[in-house]
Amino acid sequence: MTHNDRRRGVVVTGVSTGIGRAIAEDLMKAGYLVFGSVRRLNDATELMESFGTSFVPLLFDVTDSAALPAIVETVSQHLQGDPLAALINNAGVSLSGPLLLQPVEEFRKTFEVNVFGVLEVTRAFLPLLGASEQTGKRPGRIINIGSVAGAVTTPFMTAYSASKHAIEALSQGLRRELIPYGIEVSTIEPSFIRSSLFEKAATIGAEHRYQDTHYQILWQQFNRALAQQEAKAASPNKVTRAVLHALKSRYPRTRYPLDRIWYIGRCLPDRVFDKLIFKVLGIDRLILPSPIKKT
């Protein structure tokens, strides 16, 4: 294979299921060589069998900083001196619960994966993306999978929302600081997308949690509403289209909000939005205080 025949490489984290897998599939269809992170050897084997030579598995956890140098070296060897076209930070977790009762360990885990993992993986791959003293190579791009939760906060999803608010700040900071290198940074901000993100969380955040607490009824209704929203979730292709635009466009957007709730949450006064989101979750009659009757 000659230099001109080689496919441009893209690193995607969290490709075993859901959005990450859909991103990997569409990138390969578009002619890219995908380096996809997985945490289990079985997933790596299955993906290699499904995707063939267009896919290179990277077996590591995004929170394992000690593994990163070897992973970057693996990608570098495959690139054979070519720059990395893009890093797509997709891996994430969602652990729900009432903020007053949710174990702090779950909050920490959410940030370890969704924020610190993104930062460390990004810093590790920056030299391959063009953030180095070398000149003359086409700079790569960074695409972070955020969420509308980075603009609005839903009850019982504060840990997830806080991590995605942090991704907003991290993405903006990276974008501005990487301007000297010509590296574009975009954030994709979907709402409910068909994936295993919340299904995985359900095994930890089942309805029986927080029984015999003040939040029991609210928590149970929240889980029912979450399941209903997941049943109506959009196809992952909605995300992959935005990813491809951010990757291939001459002028990629800094943000790609994929649901109108992103705009509504930013425009409405807080207390008005409170009533709207409580109604969507079906908890408006349970959570809003009754008006005080004048005697």
In the chain, the percentage of residues whose pLDDT exceeds 70 is 89
* pLDDT value at residue 232: 79
pLDDT digits (tens, 9 = 90+) for 27-46: 999 999 999 999 999 999 99
Q: Which of 160, 210, 215, 256 is catalytic?
A: 160
Number of structural domains (the chain) is 1
Q: Which amino acid is at 235?
A: S
Could you tell me which residue, 295 or 249, shows the higher pLDDT? 249
For residues 237 and 234, give the distance between their C-alpha atoms in angstroms, rounded to a whole number. 8
Give yes or no for a contact between 44 and 59, defined as CB atoms under 8 angstroms apart. yes
For residues 158 and 96, give the distance between their C-alpha atoms in angstroms, rounded to a whole number. 7
Average pLDDT over residues 54-80: 96
Is there a domain that residue 295 lies in? no
| Residue 59 domain boundaries | 3-286
Q: Which of 21, 55, 37 is nearest to 236 (CA)?
A: 21
Residue 53 has pLDDT above 70, yes or no: yes
Half-sphere CA count of 265, side-chain side, radius 13 A: 17
The strands making up 33-38's β-sheet, listed across from edge to edge, are 55-59, 33-38, 9-12, 86-89, 141-145, 184-189, 255-257
* pLDDT value at residue 80: 93
Pairing of strands 141-145, 255-257: unpaired
pLDDT digits (tens, 9 = 90+) for 261-283: 888 988 899 999 999 999 989 99
Q: Quickly state the pLDDT bin for 230 (edges 50, 70, 90).
A: confident
For residues 115 and 122, give the distance between their C-alpha atoms in angstroms, rounded to a whole number. 11
Least confident piece of the model among 51-55, 108-112, 135-139: 135-139
* Burial (Cβ within 10 Å: 0-12, 13-18, ≥19) of residue 91: buried
- Rounded to 5, what percent of the chain is helix, strand, coil? 50, 10, 35
For residues 98 and 3, give the distance between their C-alpha atoms in angstroms, rounded to a whole number. 54
Average pLDDT over residues 88-96: 95
Residue 197 has pLDDT above 80, yes or no: no
Global pTM?
Answer: 0.90
* pLDDT value at residue 132: 78
In the block, which residue shows the tokens 């003359």? 136
* pLDDT value at residue 287: 80
Least confident piece of the model among 161-175, 184-198, 238-252: 184-198
Is there a domain that residue 272 lies in? yes
Average pLDDT over residues 23-30: 96
Is there a domain that residue 128 lies in? yes
Q: Quickly state the pLDDT bin for 137 (edges 50, 70, 90).
A: confident
Q: Which amino acid is at 177?
A: E
Average pLDDT over residues 232-239: 84
Average pLDDT over residues 161-170: 97
Is there a domain that residue 293 lies in? no
Is there a domain that residue 106 lies in? yes
In the chain, the percentage of residues whose pLDDT exceeds 90 is 73
Residue 138 has pLDDT above 50, yes or no: yes
Average pLDDT over residues 130-144: 83
Residue 240 has pLDDT above 60, yes or no: yes
Active site residue 160: yes
Is there a domain that residue 189 lies in? yes
The domain that contains 135 carries what CATH number? 3.40.50.720
* pLDDT value at residue 233: 73
For residues 111 and 252, give the distance between their C-alpha atoms in angstroms, rounded to a whole number. 27
For residues 193 and 168, give the distance between their C-alpha atoms in angstroms, rounded to a whole number. 19
Mean pLDDT of the chain: 89
Is there a domain that residue 51 lies in? yes
- The β-bridge partners of 142 are 87, 185
Average pLDDT over residues 9-20: 95
* pLDDT value at residue 205: 45
In the block, which residue shows the tokens 């598995």? 57
Residue 234 has pLDDT above 80, yes or no: no
Q: Which amino acid is at 295?
A: T
Q: Quickly state the pLDDT bin for 229 (edges 50, 70, 90).
A: confident
